[in-house]
């Protein structure tokens, strides 16, 4: 009860009612949405979830990682590989996946933070790790090499093995996204969360007042990597195929960062709002491109739209929107 | 000004506006989408291709083959018209999946696509869940037809079929020319396709009793900007034959470097890879593109349907070359059209049954009739030896499909036959 009060303590009744209504709508969505709209909603929740995971390291702790595809890829490959080779189900496999991704996050974090790599230099380190992992997986026959790893498709729903149709995957990613939201809220309300914010604002000042900077940054990396690995597991079982050149791609890492940047870096609902805006814009421009028969038009207008959002709402859409709607979320 | 404007909006109104905006954003293209699928035709075919992103160039080449399909059907007196709707997969499996859902939502009876194996598998799952037939135009991963899909057929060779077909043609080239190299060097890009090909060649090579020995395998990064070291290393092996597994840009680098280093092996014959026959390669490399041989599935220049397709393609896309991509995508449309002609129904089960029983004698690619085995794979596709002659990829083998005589060994880079 106390924990619940701590989680919801700062929220206005309007915020809590809005959240409850949103959750109810999302729970009922498969009943009234067609499969296409459901697949769009799945994408929104996926990007919201991975955005939330990335937000921990960048939005809360202020460390720029541009290689988060590494953790999603590792998570996906390990869980999928264990399932493919040994029949170990994804719920068991995800422990190994999360452990491997957390270890990778710890290695990257230690190398970066211990040797005071910051800003673009830390970002380059994260990219480098993602890239050489890609090259490694291209030559690792257990993981299918560059020819890819394909999971056997089964239309019958089986939650234990994560085999089945989109409705099941929808509820799984919804649970992940909701869980990540609660976890992030709890983290922000904790001492660790406050340390992160202090580090983000001024790491030297934080250290001077006794914040264990290295340990806090490491925890941010490890938690973020572990959460991203869960998304990777979900992704691998949803799409049933993995290729190193896409699983660890730089473009995948960039995609992970977009929703929180557009929605509002360091905010709890920013990744959700950003994912809605980005996926909505993406779908709208994809449709327009298909209908007009001009390939690539989407990328041009999508880029322009993002430019406009960043220019006029540099802090993201959510802080502006929440202030206007009177929805109370603490903006650290 | 902006601030002043926002201040006039009440909280309640902004909430409503935000909701309307979000709904509008997602729903705005709806009229376009539904109008698109009502173009009039016997069968609604959703063509899912990567027409933007990394594979855009190839995706667009595929699409051109489909764009002229109805005209060719009319020329061939086929009483069928397809209503083809185009969907861009943006070279991403997640987009491919959503686009497939969208296509089915818009009323597609058949899906066709998607050039790339990862995207194709993403679409295949959607097709299976909805029970809508998917005709794979191009995708070589064997797993696509090994998953037990009930609604998927593929009219493209698997990677092992590509390699086996290509290496068999190598023997044919040596037999027809009377010249047989004893050593070869395999050079390959180390991307997904290249690595799969190299592994496939290594696995199949001992079983095929090839007359030459592969003395060295050299791989290079897909983003390589200079291949001088790799070509130098290959030249040093004194191999008589080069087997390049390349794509477009590295193919150009490779040949440029060979010319620069004056390396003139007996031949350059790819073992089932793209690059050497592509339009941009031919334009850029000019005379140095001639006499290079690709062993790939290709259009059979002697069939009436190929002639009709070439004519329509040249008329509609005068600046673009018709190649394997356009050919196979056209054939996917042909397969859909023939299924409708047999079933006279747009019901998925009837169409799928027609696809399973299909036997299309008259088509455009080299090989036997199009028909699918129990797994949905067309096993009658054959490769052709396609030699660049006067800047045009020309079928030289098999002899009954040949449009010009084979030239082998390859003339040197300064030979007068290169003009």
For range B389-409, the mean pLDDT: 90
Collapsing DSSP states into helix, strand and coil, what is residue B388?
strand
Strand pairing class (B392-397; B384-389) = antiparallel
Band of pLDDT at residue A14, cut at 50, 70 and 90? confident
CB A63 within 8 A of CB A86: no
Check whether residue B138 and residue B189 sit in a common domain: no
The answer to whether the Cβ–Cβ distance between B191 and A325 falls below 8 Å is no
Looking at residue A265, what DSSP letter applies? T
Rounded mean pLDDT of B263-292? 91
Instruction: Specify whether B146 is located in the same domain as B219.
Output: no
- Domain assignment present for residue A264? The answer is no
Let me know if residue B305 belongs to a domain: yes
- Residue, of A178 and B273, whose pLDDT is higher: A178
Please check whether residues B109 and B128 belong to one and the same domain.
yes
Instruction: Indicate whether B109 and B99 sit together in one domain.
Output: yes
Q: State the average pLDDT for chain B.
A: 87
Give the pLDDT band of residue B5 (cuts 50, 70, 90): very low
Would you say residue A110 lies in a domain? yes
Res A217: pLDDT: 94
The 10s digit of each residue's pLDDT in B283-341 is 999 999 999 999 999 999 889 999 999 999 999 999 888 989 999 999 999 999 999 99
Domains identified in chain A, total number: 1
Q: Which positions in chain A touch B126 (Cβ < 8 Å)?
A: 35
Residues 6+ apart with CB under 8 A from B326: B61, B62, B64, B65, B313
Interface test with B, best of A231, A263, A287, A298 (most B CBs within 10 A): A287
Which segment, A116-120, A139-143, B309-313, is predicted with the most confidence on average?
A: B309-313
| Residue numbers in B near A40 (CB within 8 A) | 26, 98
A189 assigned to some structural domain: yes
In a domain, A314, yes or no: no
**B8 within some domain:** no
Domain of residue A79 covers 33-248
Give me the phi and psi of A8, to 5 degrees please: -105, 0
pLDDT category at B38 given cuts 50, 70, 90 is very low
The tens digit of pLDDT for each residue in B169-220 reads: 999 999 999 999 999 999 998 776 787 788 888 888 888 889 999 999 999 9
Helix, strand, coil shares of chain B as percentages rounded to 5?
45, 15, 35
Does some domain include residue A66? yes
DSSP assigned state of B410: P
Share of residues in chain B with pLDDT > 70 (%) = 90
Question: Is pLDDT of A52 > 80?
Answer: yes
Kindly state whether residue B15 falls inside one of the protein's structural domains. Answer: no
Residues of B in contact with A234 (CB under 8 A): none
Residue A35 above 60 pLDDT? yes
- Residues of chain B in contact with residue A306, where contact means CB-CB under 8 angstroms, are none
The alpha carbon of residue B129 is apart from the nearest alpha carbon of chain A, in Å, by 7
> Is the pLDDT score of B405 beyond 90?
yes
Least confident of B34-43, B94-103, B140-149, B346-355: B34-43
Is residue B367 domain-resident? yes
Tokens 């959002």 -> residue: A309
The tens digit of pLDDT for each residue in A233-251 reads 999 999 888 888 889 989 8
Is residue A241 one of the residues assigned to a domain? yes
Q: Could you list the residue range(s) of the whole structural domain that residue B290 is in?
A: 160-296+383-401
| CB proximity B223 to A under 8 Å | no
Interface test with A, best of B36, B64, B93 (most A CBs within 10 A): B93
| Number of domains making up chain B | 2
What ipTM, to 2 d.p.? Answer: 0.77
Question: In terms of CA atoms, which chain B residue is nearest residue A281?
Answer: B25
**Are A36 and B102 in contact (CB < 8 Å)?**
yes
Instruction: Determine, yes or no, domain membership for B19.
Output: no
Q: Which residues of A touch B26 (CB under 8 A)?
A: 37, 40, 280, 283-284
Instruction: Please list every residue in chain B whose beta carbon sits closer than 8 Å to the beta carbon of residue A139.
Output: 195
Strand order in the sheet with B392-397: B213-220, B183-189, B241-245, B267-270, B293-296, B384-389, B392-397
- Grade residue A76 by pLDDT with cuts at 50, 70 and 90: very high
A66 pLDDT above the threshold of 50: yes
Convert A25-51 to b/e letters by CB count within 10 Å (16 or more is b).
ebeebbeeeebbbbbbbbbbbbbbbbb
Average pLDDT, chain A: 88
Residue B134 included in any domain? yes
Contact A245 B191 (CB under 8 A): yes
pLDDT in the model for residue B182: 95
Mark whether B202 and B264 lie in a shared domain. yes
Cβ B26–A43 below 8 Å, yes or no? no
pLDDT at position B35 is: 41
pLDDT of A81: 95
Q: Quick one: B312 and B190 in the same domain?
A: no
**Does residue A287 fall inside a structural domain?**
no
Q: Is B85 within 8 Å of chain A by CB?
A: yes
Task: Decide if A153 and B194 are in contact by the 8 Å CB cutoff.
Answer: no
Is A311 part of any domain?
A: no
CA distance A16 to A5: 12
Q: Closest chain B residue to A244 measured between Cα atoms?
A: B192
- pLDDT band for A257, please (50, 70, 90 cuts): very high
Residue-level pLDDT at B143: 83
Query: Contacts of residue B220 in chain A, CB cutoff 8 Å?
Result: none
pLDDT digits (tens, 9 = 90+) for B55-64: 888 899 999 9
Same domain for B58 and B137, yes or no, is: yes
Give the bridge partners for B112, in sequence order.
B47, B135
Q: What's the Cα-to-Cα distance from A239 to each of A309, B98, B99, B234, B388, rounded to whole Å?
A: 31, 11, 14, 40, 39
Report pLDDT for B6. Answer: 44
pLDDT interval class at B3 (50, 70, 90) = very low
Does the distance separating the beta carbons of B97 and A239 come in below 8 Å? yes
Instruction: Identify the CATH number of the domain in which residue B215 sits.
Output: 3.40.50.2300
For range A167-194, the mean pLDDT: 93
Q: Do B98 and A40 touch (CB under 8 A)?
A: yes
Q: Do A239 and B94 touch (CB under 8 A)?
A: yes
Are B111 and B212 contained in the same domain? Answer: no
Distance separating the N- and C-terminal Cα atoms of chain B: 67
pLDDT the model gives residue B108:
93
Give a yes or no: residue B66 inside a domain. yes
Q: Which positions 93-122 of B are in contact with A (Cβ < 8 Å)?
A: 93-95, 97-99, 101-102, 104-105, 117-118, 121-122
Q: What is the pLDDT of residues A186-230, one digit of tens each?
A: 999 899 999 999 999 998 999 999 999 999 999 999 999 999 999
Structure confidence by residue, pLDDT tens digits, A299-309: 787 788 888 88
């Amino acid at each position: 009860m106390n924990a619940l009060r701590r989680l919801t303590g700062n929220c206005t009744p309007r915020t809590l009612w809005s959240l409850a209504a949103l959750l109810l709508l999302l729970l009922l969505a498969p009943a009234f949405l067609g499969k296409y709209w459901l697949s769009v909603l799945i994408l929104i929740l996926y990007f919201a979830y991975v955005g939330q995971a990335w937000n921990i390291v960048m939005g809360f702790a202020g460390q720029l990682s541009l290689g988060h595809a590494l953790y999603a890829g590792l998570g996906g490959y390990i869980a999928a590989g264990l399932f493919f080779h040994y029949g170990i189900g994804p719920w068991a496999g995800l422990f190994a996946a999360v452990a491997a991704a957390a270890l990778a996050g710890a290695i990257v974090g230690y190398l970066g933070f211990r040797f005071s790599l910051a800003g673009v230099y830390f970002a380059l380190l994260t990219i480098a790790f993602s890239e050489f992992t890609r090259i490694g997986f291209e030559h690792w026959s257990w993981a299918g090499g560059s020819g890819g790893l394909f999971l056997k498709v089964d239309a019958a729903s089986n939650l234990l093995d994560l085999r089945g149709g989109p409705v099941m995957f929808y509820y799984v990613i919804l649970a992940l996204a909701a869980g990540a939201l609660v976890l992030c809220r709890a983290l922000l309300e904790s001492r660790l969360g406050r340390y992160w914010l202090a580090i983000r604002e001024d790491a030297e000042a934080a250290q001077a007042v006794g914040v264990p900077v290295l340990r806090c940054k490491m925890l941010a990396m490890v938690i973020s990597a572990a959460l991203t690995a869960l998304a990777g597991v979900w992704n691998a079982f949803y799409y049933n195929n993995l290729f190193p050149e896409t699983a660890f791609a730089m473009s995948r890492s960039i995609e992970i960062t977009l929703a929180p940047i557009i929605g509002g870096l360091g905010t709890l609902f920013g990744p959700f709002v950003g994912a809605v805006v980005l996926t909505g814009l993406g779908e709208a421009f994809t449709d327009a491109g298909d209908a007009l028969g001009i390939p690539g038009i989407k990328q041009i207008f999508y880029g322009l739209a993002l430019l406009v959002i960043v220019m006029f709402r540099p802090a993201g859409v959510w802080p502006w929107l929440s202030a206007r709607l009177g929805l109370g979320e603490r903006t650290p | 000004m902006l601030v002043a404007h926002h201040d006039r909006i009440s909280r309640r109104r902004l909430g409503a506006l935000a909701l309307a905006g979000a709904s509008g954003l997602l729903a705005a293209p709806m009229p376009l989408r539904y109008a698109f699928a009502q173009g009039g035709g016997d069968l609604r075919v959703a063509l899912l291709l990567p027409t933007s992103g990394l594979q855009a160039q190839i995706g667009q080449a595929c699409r051109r083959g489909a764009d002229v399909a109805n005209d060719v059907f009319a020329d061939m007196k086929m009483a069928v018209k397809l209503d083809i709707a185009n969907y861009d997969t943006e070279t991403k499996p997640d987009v491919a999946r959503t686009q497939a859902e969208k296509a089915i939502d818009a009323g597609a009876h058949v899906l066709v696509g998607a050039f790339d194996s990862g995207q194709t598998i993403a679409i295949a799952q959607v097709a299976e869940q909805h029970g809508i037939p998917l005709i794979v135009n191009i995708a070589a991963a064997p797993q696509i037809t090994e998953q037990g899909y009930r609604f998927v057929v593929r009219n493209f060779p698997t990677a092992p079929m590509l390699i086996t077909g290509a290496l068999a043609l190598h023997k044919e080239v040596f037999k027809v020319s009377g010249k047989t190299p004893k050593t070869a060097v395999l050079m390959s890009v180390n991307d997904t396709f290249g690595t799969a090909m190299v592994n496939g060649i290594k696995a199949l090579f001992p079983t095929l009793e090839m007359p030459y020995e592969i003395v060295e395998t050299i791989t290079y990064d897909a983003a390589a900007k200079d291949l001088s070291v790799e070509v130098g290393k290959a030249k040093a092996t004194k191999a008589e034959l080069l087997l390049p597994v390349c794509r477009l840009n590295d193919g150009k680098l490779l040949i440029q470097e060979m010319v620069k280093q004056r390396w003139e092996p007996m031949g350059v014959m790819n073992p089932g890879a793209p690059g050497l026959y592509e339009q941009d390669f031919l334009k850029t490399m000019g005379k140095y593109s001639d006499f290079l041989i690709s062993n790939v599935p290709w259009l059979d220049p002697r069939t009436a349907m190929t002639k009709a397709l070439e004519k329509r393609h040249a008329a509609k896309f005068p600046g673009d070359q018709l190649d394997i991509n356009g050919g196979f995508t056209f054939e996917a449309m042909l397969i859909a059209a023939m299924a409708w002609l047999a079933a006279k129904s747009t019901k998925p089960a009837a169409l799928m049954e027609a696809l399973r029983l299909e036997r299309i004698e008259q088509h455009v690619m080299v090989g036997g009739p199009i028909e699918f085995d129990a797994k949905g794979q067309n096993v009658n596709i054959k490769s052709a030896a396609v030699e660049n002659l006067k800047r045009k990829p020309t079928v030289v083998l098999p002899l009954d499909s040949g449009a010009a005589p084979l030239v082998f060994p390859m003339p040197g880079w300064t030979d007068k036959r290169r003009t």
